[in-house]
Amino acid sequence: MNTLKVVLMLSVLSGLLIIVGYMVARGTGVAIALVMSALMNFGGYWFSDSIVLKMYNARPVTQAEAPELYGVVESLATKAQIPLPKIYIVQSDTANAFATGRNEDHAAVAVTSGLMSLMSPSELEGVIAHELSHIKHKDILISTMAATVASAVVLLSRWAVFFGNDDGNFVSSIAVAIVAPVAAMLVQMAISRSREYEADAGSARITGDPKALAEALMKLSRMASQKPMEANPATAHIFIVNPLSGGTIMGLFSTHPPVERRVERLRRMQADRYE
């Protein structure tokens, strides 16, 4: 069901892109929209991982440099039945983590130095398993597609104001320019939130310990509120908790579900294990 929802939401995004393209230049605009989306997705698929890792000055680490982290990732990757991803550390006092890469064979997991000092061993396992679940379920590809199509909708919507007046359709062009970007953002956020729920559940399945991730999320949420990370808003969706959550972003436009709901779901999973 979750996969079906994602497919439907991606279809809505694609539909918005085609509508906006049509408003810009009719059939030609649709062609431009599709080509633009394809190019952006191609670039995102092949280069988004290196761009993000460089953006946060992530440093690759070996087993000798970070034996605890390396051991956790290696053990959980085996349990998740995926290849061992590359492992990176981001120097930041704020605790957070993310996964990136175009597929299981070209994936990376990055954690902040703040996360390593904050998490207990079981909590660290919960966080890493969450990121490995993203890799296993191709959430990185899905998020990249959603983000690039949404960006294309926003860009073309701006053009609609200037090029959609050829046949007196200026009012509808203005309406599309206002409504389409907001709708695209909402759909993109909905996709991101659904994948976070699924990655939480995936983490619980891999570790067999939903409670550990619930406790980790509460710690991460408190730190994000007290000390938001200096992060690019365009990459907020890749982190395990919103790095910008300092009370300034409306929940409707958040890339992540409320931590309270995520914790509640994990606690229900924990309770179900003992029924």
Q: Does the residue 53 lie in any domain? A: yes
Q: Does the residue 104 lie in any domain? A: yes
Quick one: pLDDT band at residue 1, thresholds 50, 70, 90? very low
Q: Does the residue 226 lie in any domain? A: yes
User: Looking at the 3D structure of the chain, how many domains does it have?
Assistant: 1
Q: Which of 11-20, 93-102, 144-153 has the highest mean pLDDT?
A: 93-102
What pLDDT sits at residue 86?
96
Q: The domain spanning residue 141 has which CATH number? A: 3.30.2010.10
The model's pLDDT over 212-269, given as tens digits with 9 standing for 90+, comes to 999 999 999 998 888 888 888 878 888 999 887 544 444 556 778 999 999 999 999 9
**Token code pair at residue 92:** 């930041």
Q: Does the residue 142 lie in any domain? A: yes
Q: Does the residue 158 lie in any domain? A: no
Report the DSSP beta bridge partners of residue 139. Answer: none
Q: Does the residue 230 lie in any domain? A: yes
Return the minimum-mean-pLDDT range out of 151-160, 162-171, 195-204, 209-218. 162-171
Could you give the dihedral angle defined by the CA atoms of residues 189, 193, 198 and 201, in that order, rounded to the nearest 10 degrees?
Answer: 170
Q: What is the pTM of this model?
A: 0.81
Q: Does the residue 7 lie in any domain? A: no
Helices (H), 56-110: 67-80
Q: Does the residue 193 lie in any domain? A: yes
What pLDDT sits at residue 249?
44
User: Catalytic site residues?
Assistant: 131
Q: Which of 34-43, 111-120, 190-199 has the highest mean pLDDT?
A: 111-120
* Beta carbons of 57 and 91 less than 8 angstroms apart: yes
Return the minimum-mean-pLDDT range out of 86-95, 138-147, 228-237, 239-248. 239-248
* % pLDDT > 70, the chain: 75
Domain containing 261: what range?
Answer: 46-146+184-273
